[in-house]
Protein backbone atom coordinates (compact mmCIF):
# COMPACT_ATOMS: atom_id res chain seq x y z
CA UNK A 1 0.00 0.00 0.00
CA UNK A 2 1.11 3.62 -0.57
CA UNK A 3 2.48 5.30 2.56
CA UNK A 4 -0.25 7.15 4.46
CA UNK A 5 -0.38 10.92 3.97
CA UNK A 6 -2.68 12.99 6.17
CA UNK A 7 -3.09 16.58 4.93
CA UNK A 8 -4.18 19.24 7.44
CA UNK A 9 -4.88 22.68 5.97
CA UNK A 10 -6.62 25.80 7.19
CA UNK A 11 -6.20 29.43 8.23
CA UNK A 12 -3.87 30.76 10.94
CA UNK A 13 -4.39 29.63 14.54
CA UNK A 14 -7.25 27.24 13.74
CA UNK A 15 -5.62 24.43 15.74
CA UNK A 16 -3.92 22.63 12.81
CA UNK A 17 -0.52 22.24 14.45
CA UNK A 18 -1.78 20.73 17.69
CA UNK A 19 -4.09 18.38 15.82
CA UNK A 20 -1.46 17.37 13.26
CA UNK A 21 1.05 16.54 16.03
CA UNK A 22 -1.47 14.38 17.85
CA UNK A 23 -2.52 12.55 14.69
CA UNK A 24 1.14 11.91 13.85
CA UNK A 25 1.78 10.43 17.30
CA UNK A 26 -1.42 8.36 17.08
CA UNK A 27 -0.59 6.86 13.68
CA UNK A 28 3.18 6.66 14.27
CA UNK A 29 3.90 9.00 11.34
CA UNK A 30 6.48 11.77 10.94
CA UNK A 31 5.09 15.28 11.25
CA UNK A 32 5.98 18.40 9.23
CA UNK A 33 4.79 21.92 10.06
CA UNK A 34 5.18 23.39 6.56
CA UNK A 35 4.57 26.94 7.83
CA UNK A 36 8.04 26.74 9.35
CA UNK A 37 9.56 26.52 5.87
CA UNK A 38 7.99 29.83 4.83
CA UNK A 39 8.84 31.37 8.20
CA UNK A 40 12.48 30.33 7.85
CA UNK A 41 12.67 31.76 4.32
CA UNK A 42 11.14 35.04 5.53
CA UNK A 43 13.63 35.16 8.39
CA UNK A 44 16.61 34.62 6.08
CA UNK A 45 15.44 37.52 3.90
CA UNK A 46 14.97 39.81 6.92
CA UNK A 47 18.41 38.83 8.30
CA UNK A 48 20.01 39.84 5.02
CA UNK A 49 18.23 43.19 5.21
CA UNK A 50 16.05 42.27 2.21
CA UNK A 51 12.38 42.82 1.40
CA UNK A 52 10.26 39.64 1.79
CA UNK A 53 8.22 40.79 -1.20
CA UNK A 54 11.25 40.81 -3.51
CA UNK A 55 10.85 37.67 -5.64
CA UNK A 56 14.51 37.24 -6.63
CA UNK A 57 15.79 37.67 -3.07
CA UNK A 58 13.11 35.43 -1.53
CA UNK A 59 13.62 32.68 -4.13
CA UNK A 60 17.37 32.67 -3.49
CA UNK A 61 16.66 32.39 0.25
CA UNK A 62 14.27 29.47 -0.37
CA UNK A 63 16.87 27.64 -2.46
CA UNK A 64 19.50 28.23 0.23
CA UNK A 65 17.27 26.92 3.04
CA UNK A 66 18.91 24.34 5.33
CA UNK A 67 17.32 21.96 7.85
CA UNK A 68 19.00 23.90 10.71
CA UNK A 69 17.04 27.01 9.72
CA UNK A 70 13.86 25.30 10.94
CA UNK A 71 15.26 25.01 14.47
CA UNK A 72 15.61 28.75 14.93
CA UNK A 73 13.75 30.15 17.91
CA UNK A 74 12.74 33.43 16.24
CA UNK A 75 10.32 32.03 13.65
CA UNK A 76 7.16 33.14 15.51
CA UNK A 77 5.84 36.59 16.28
CA UNK A 78 4.21 39.35 14.25
CA UNK A 79 7.29 40.18 12.13
CA UNK A 80 7.94 36.53 11.24
CA UNK A 81 4.22 35.96 10.53
CA UNK A 82 4.13 38.80 8.05
CA UNK A 83 7.42 37.93 6.35
CA UNK A 84 6.27 34.29 5.97
CA UNK A 85 3.00 35.30 4.36
CA UNK A 86 4.76 37.63 1.93
CA UNK A 87 7.41 35.15 0.75
CA UNK A 88 4.67 32.49 0.53
CA UNK A 89 2.88 34.49 -2.18
CA UNK A 90 5.91 34.21 -4.50
CA UNK A 91 5.58 31.25 -6.94
CA UNK A 92 9.36 30.67 -7.13
CA UNK A 93 9.54 30.32 -3.35
CA UNK A 94 6.74 27.74 -3.36
CA UNK A 95 8.41 25.85 -6.22
CA UNK A 96 11.73 25.75 -4.34
CA UNK A 97 10.03 24.18 -1.27
CA UNK A 98 7.93 21.63 -3.16
CA UNK A 99 10.41 18.75 -3.46
CA UNK A 100 11.37 18.90 0.20
CA UNK A 101 7.70 18.63 1.27
CA UNK A 102 6.92 15.78 -1.13
CA UNK A 103 10.13 13.98 -0.22
CA UNK A 104 9.32 14.24 3.46
CA UNK A 105 6.17 12.17 3.09
CA UNK A 106 7.04 9.84 0.28
CA UNK A 107 9.06 7.10 1.99
CA UNK A 108 7.17 6.45 5.23
CA UNK A 109 4.05 8.59 4.98
CA UNK A 110 3.51 11.71 7.09
CA UNK A 111 1.12 14.19 8.61
CA UNK A 112 1.73 17.65 7.12
CA UNK A 113 0.03 20.87 8.14
CA UNK A 114 -0.13 24.02 6.03
CA UNK A 115 -2.31 25.84 3.52
CA UNK A 116 -1.92 23.83 0.30
CA UNK A 117 -1.06 20.28 1.37
CA UNK A 118 -4.32 18.80 0.10
CA UNK A 119 -4.54 21.01 -3.00
CA UNK A 120 -0.94 21.16 -4.28
CA UNK A 121 1.65 19.17 -2.30
CA UNK A 122 -0.25 15.89 -1.93
CA UNK A 123 -3.44 16.17 -4.00
CA UNK A 124 -3.70 12.34 -3.91
CA UNK A 125 -3.64 12.15 -0.09
CA UNK A 126 -6.42 9.82 1.07
CA UNK A 127 -7.08 11.84 4.22
CA UNK A 128 -7.54 15.61 4.12
CA UNK A 129 -8.90 17.86 6.81
CA UNK A 130 -9.62 21.57 6.43
CA UNK A 131 -9.53 22.99 9.93
CA UNK A 132 -11.30 26.30 10.54
CA UNK A 133 -12.60 28.45 13.40
CA UNK A 134 -14.11 31.92 13.66
CA UNK A 135 -11.58 34.73 13.36
CA UNK A 136 -12.43 35.82 16.93
CA UNK A 137 -11.66 32.35 18.30
CA UNK A 138 -8.41 32.19 16.34
CA UNK A 139 -7.31 35.67 17.42
CA UNK A 140 -8.00 34.73 21.02
CA UNK A 141 -5.99 31.50 20.76
CA UNK A 142 -3.02 33.26 19.22
CA UNK A 143 -3.26 35.94 21.94
CA UNK A 144 -3.35 33.29 24.70
CA UNK A 145 -0.27 31.63 23.17
CA UNK A 146 1.57 34.95 23.30
CA UNK A 147 0.44 35.51 26.91
CA UNK A 148 1.70 32.06 27.86
CA UNK A 149 5.09 32.94 26.37
CA UNK A 150 5.12 36.21 28.29
CA UNK A 151 4.91 38.29 25.11
CA UNK A 152 2.82 41.41 25.73
CA UNK A 153 0.08 41.71 23.10
CA UNK A 154 -3.26 43.33 22.52
CA UNK A 155 -6.18 41.03 21.65
CA UNK A 156 -7.69 43.35 19.01
CA UNK A 157 -4.33 43.80 17.27
CA UNK A 158 -3.56 40.07 17.29
CA UNK A 159 -7.03 39.31 15.88
CA UNK A 160 -6.55 41.92 13.17
CA UNK A 161 -3.15 40.41 12.24
CA UNK A 162 -4.76 36.96 11.90
CA UNK A 163 -7.48 38.44 9.69
CA UNK A 164 -4.93 40.22 7.48
CA UNK A 165 -2.79 37.10 7.06
CA UNK A 166 -5.84 34.98 6.10
CA UNK A 167 -6.82 37.59 3.51
CA UNK A 168 -3.32 37.52 2.01
CA UNK A 169 -3.24 33.71 2.00
CA UNK A 170 -6.69 33.47 0.37
CA UNK A 171 -6.19 36.19 -2.22
CA UNK A 172 -2.81 35.17 -3.62
CA UNK A 173 -2.64 33.59 -7.07
CA UNK A 174 -0.06 30.94 -6.10
CA UNK A 175 -1.62 28.06 -4.13
CA UNK A 176 -4.24 30.17 -2.32
CA UNK A 177 -5.68 28.94 0.96
CA UNK A 178 -8.82 26.95 0.12
CA UNK A 179 -10.19 23.51 0.94
CA UNK A 180 -9.45 20.70 -1.53
CA UNK A 181 -12.64 19.43 -3.17
CA UNK A 182 -12.29 16.18 -1.20
CA UNK A 183 -11.27 17.72 2.15
CA UNK A 184 -13.43 17.21 5.23
CA UNK A 185 -14.09 20.49 7.04
CA UNK A 186 -13.67 20.61 10.80
CA UNK A 187 -14.81 23.77 12.63
CA UNK A 188 -12.95 24.01 15.94
CA UNK A 189 -14.56 27.24 17.22
CA UNK A 190 -16.38 25.54 20.07
CA UNK A 191 -13.97 22.63 20.64
CA UNK A 192 -10.93 22.19 22.88
CA UNK A 193 -7.83 20.29 21.68
CA UNK A 194 -9.08 16.92 22.99
CA UNK A 195 -12.46 17.34 21.30
CA UNK A 196 -10.78 18.39 18.04
CA UNK A 197 -8.62 15.27 18.10
CA UNK A 198 -11.57 12.97 18.85
CA UNK A 199 -13.66 14.56 16.09
CA UNK A 200 -10.79 14.33 13.58
CA UNK A 201 -10.31 10.61 14.31
CA UNK A 202 -14.03 10.04 13.84
CA UNK A 203 -14.05 11.97 10.53
CA UNK A 204 -10.93 10.19 9.25
CA UNK A 205 -12.15 6.72 10.24
CA UNK A 206 -13.97 6.22 6.98
CA UNK A 207 -10.90 7.27 4.96
CA UNK A 208 -8.26 5.11 6.63
O1 LIG B 1 1.08 27.86 9.41
P2 LIG B 1 1.85 29.12 9.69
O3 LIG B 1 1.02 30.18 10.33
O4 LIG B 1 3.11 28.88 10.43
O5 LIG B 1 2.28 29.66 8.24
C6 LIG B 1 2.94 30.90 8.07
C7 LIG B 1 2.61 31.43 6.67
O8 LIG B 1 3.24 30.58 5.71
C9 LIG B 1 1.14 31.45 6.30
O10 LIG B 1 0.49 32.66 6.62
C11 LIG B 1 1.15 31.21 4.80
O12 LIG B 1 1.27 32.43 4.11
C13 LIG B 1 2.41 30.42 4.57
N14 LIG B 1 2.17 28.99 4.32
C15 LIG B 1 1.83 28.62 3.04
N16 LIG B 1 1.69 27.31 2.72
C17 LIG B 1 1.85 26.37 3.66
C18 LIG B 1 2.17 26.73 4.98
C19 LIG B 1 2.31 28.07 5.30
O20 LIG B 1 1.66 29.47 2.17
N21 LIG B 1 1.72 25.09 3.30
How far apart, in whole angstroms, are the C-alpha atoms of residue 24 and residue 110? Answer: 7
How far apart, in whole angstroms, are the C-alpha atoms of residue 73 and residue 43? Answer: 11
Mean pLDDT of the chain: 96
Residue ID of nearest Cα to ligand 1 atom 3: 12
In the prediction, which pLDDT does 1 show? 72
How far apart, in whole angstroms, are the C-alpha atoms of residue 157 and residue 185? Answer: 27
Closest CA to 68 of 35, 40, 49, 28: 40
How far apart, in whole angstroms, are the C-alpha atoms of residue 164 and residue 131? Answer: 18
Residue ID of nearest Cα to ligand 1 atom 1: 35
Residues annotated within the binding site are: 10-18
Query: Taking the model in full, what pTM does it have?
Result: 0.96
Residues annotated within the binding site for ATP are: 10-18
Q: How far is the CA of 75 from the centre of ligand 1 (A)?
A: 12
Residue ID of nearest Cα to ligand 1 atom 12: 85
- The ipTM value here is 0.99
Residues with CB under 6 A from ligand 1: 12, 34-35, 38-39, 84-85, 88, 114-117, 165, 169
- The total number of residues written for the chain in this structure: 208
| Tens of pLDDT, residues 119-174 | 999 999 999 999 999 999 999 999 999 999 898 999 999 999 999 999 999 999 99
Residue 67 phi/psi, 5° resolution?
A: -55, -40
Instruction: Classify residue 20 by burial, with Cβ atoms within 10 Å: 0-12, 13-18, 19+.
Output: buried
* 208 — pLDDT class (breaks 50, 70, 90): confident
Percent of the chain with pLDDT over 70: 100
In the prediction, which pLDDT does 77 show? 85
How far apart, in whole angstroms, are the C-alpha atoms of residue 149 and residue 127? Answer: 33
Amino acid sequence: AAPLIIAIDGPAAAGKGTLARRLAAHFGLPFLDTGLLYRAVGRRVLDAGGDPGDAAVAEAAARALRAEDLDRTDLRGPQADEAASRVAAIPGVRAALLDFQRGFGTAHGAVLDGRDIGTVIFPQAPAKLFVTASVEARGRRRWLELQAKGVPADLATVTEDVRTRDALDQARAAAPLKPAADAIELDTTALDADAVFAKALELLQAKL
